[in-house]
Amino acid sequence: MKFQRNEPLKKHTSLRIGGLADYFFQPKNIEELAEALELARKNKLPVAVLGGGTNLLVLEQGFRGLVIKLGRGLNTVTIEGSKIRVGAGVLLPNLIVTLAKKGVGGLEFLAGVPGSVGGAVVMNAGAWGKEIGQYVAEVRVLDHAGQEKVLKKSKLKLGYRSSLFQNSNWILTEVLLNLRRKKPKLIKERLLYYLTKRRASQPLGIPNCGSVFKNPKNDYAGRLIEAAGCKGLRIGDAQVSVKHANFIVNLGEANAKDVIKIMTRVQKAVKERFKILLEPEVKIMVKSAT
Ligand SMILES: Cc1cc2nc3c(=O)[nH]c(=O)nc-3n(C[C@H](O)[C@H](O)[C@H](O)COP(=O)(O)OP(=O)(O)OC[C@H]3O[C@@H](n4cnc5c(N)ncnc54)[C@H](O)[C@@H]3O)c2cc1C
């Protein structure tokens, strides 16, 4: 087993920002993942996990330890009627298209959400009033000691863009989804409907990390940020998108400091104007327990 050294993490985040990981590894299967964790434990290396890196801000100092990217290796999809078993590394857009072709529907509302299936469950990704958690039956996980467990949905503490995994050292390796049989033609129509809505409102094509802040109760972070006068706010090459104020885009050479400065300015402006403290949705890769 060989870890890559000094891997630029900006290559692995949709914001195209981030310093080097001391060690970087993409396991080909669960056995390799368990082995990598074991090696990290023996060498006292902190471990961080990423999927598609589409909701992640990596700082300029990168990560002093082992970054594990779950992708190509954990990418099986098994359809058993309306129960779908999916490796955590499967890309969500690929899953949605595969299921559409096989006449399995339910996740169309997530059309256009990038990233991995594992990341989607960790973040309880959602759109248009629905969340992936509604369709999760159980998940398979490994802890940093390489112990495997199956957790039923009731144990996952799924909430608005939150789950148990955001405060644990478990690595999600597989998800069992409960979906529905539908006509492929109907699924494709729904996909097109949701993709069109998304294209109209989001700055696709410019590096970003999706919504930066969670929506506060009964309101929208984007609306508050715009009303507080922050739409278009630019620091270095980081900018509050002029298309959707809850997105920060990287216009070229933005760095994590610029993004964090913008986030702080936005929080301050919204707090002053509306007395609401916006809570970040984007995750910052800092450190992790071994
Ligand atoms: C253009 C764009 C549009 C977006 N639209 C939406 C939207 O509509 N709705 C929405 O909810 N999100 C949206 N997002 C955000 C993002 O795509 C989702 O949160 C996505 O599900 C994250 O998956 P990921 O694999 O990229 O996770 P990453 O960004 O890689 O990781 C996110 C967090 O999960 C952890 N993690 C990832 N995989 C695992 C794993 N297997 N086990 C344990 N921990 C893990 C990471 O350590 C990190 O803390 C959007 C992003 C972009 C760029």
pLDDT tens, residue by residue, 87-104? 999 999 999 999 999 999
State the pLDDT at residue 125: 98
The residue contributing the CA closest to ligand 1 atom 27 is 119
User: Strands 248-250 and 238-240, how do they pair?
Assistant: antiparallel
Q: Mention every residue, 6+ apart, whose C-beta is less than 8 A from residue 72.
A: 26, 28, 89
Distance 44 CA to ligand 1 centre (A): 27
CB 134 within 8 A of CB 177: no
Q: Which helix (H) or strand (E) holds 105?
A: strand 104-105
Residues 180-208 have pLDDT tens digits of 999 999 999 999 999 999 998 888 889 99
Taking the mean position of all CA atoms in its chain, how far away is CA 63?
18
pLDDT at 1: 79
For the chain, the distance separating the N- and C-terminal CA atoms, rounded to the nearest angstrom, is 19
Residue 75: HSE in the Cβ half-sphere, 13 Å Cα cutoff = 19
pLDDT digits (tens, 9 = 90+) for 146-183: 889 999 999 999 999 999 999 888 999 999 999 999 99
pLDDT value of position 289 = 37
* Residue 161 annotated as catalytic: yes
Best mutation site among 72, 122, 172, 201 for ligand 1 pocket (most ligand atoms within 8 Å of CB): 122
- Nearest atom in ligand 1 to 122's CA: 34
pLDDT for 41-52, tens place per residue?
A: 999 999 999 999
CA atoms of 46 and 136, how far apart (whole Å): 29
Taken in order 167, 173, 178, 180, is the CA torsion positive or negative? positive
Element (H, E) at 178: strand 171-178
Which range (20-29, 198-207, 218-227, 259-268) has the least confidence?
A: 198-207
CA of 209 to the centre of ligand 1 (A): 8
Ligand 1 center from residue 122 Cα (angstroms): 8
Q: In degrees rounded to 5, what are phi and psi of residue 162? A: -145, 155
What pLDDT band is residue 231 in, cutting at 50, 70 and 90?
very high
Mean pLDDT across the chain? 95
Q: What is the pLDDT of residue 288?
A: 46
- Distance from C-alpha of 72 to C-alpha of 31, rounded to nearest angstrom: 14
* 211 is a catalytic site residue: yes
Residue 172 alpha carbon to ligand 1 centre in Å: 13
Q: Is residue 72 annotated as a catalytic residue, yes or no?
A: no
Dihedral Cα 145, 149, 155, 160, nearest 10 deg: 70
Residue 287 is predicted with a pLDDT of 60
Pocket of ligand 1, beta carbon within 6 A: 14, 49-56, 70, 88, 113-116, 118-120, 122-123, 125-127, 165, 171-172, 202, 204, 208-210, 283
pLDDT at 146: 83
Report the predicted TM-score, pTM, of the whole model to 2 decimal places.
Answer: 0.96
Q: Given 116, 163, 211, 241, which residue is catalytic? A: 211
Give the Å distance between the CA of 13 and the centre of ligand 1.
10
pLDDT one-digit tens code per residue, 116-130: 999 999 999 999 999
Domains of the chain and any CATH numbers = 4-69 (3.30.43.10), 77-201 (3.30.465.10), 203-275 (3.90.78.10)
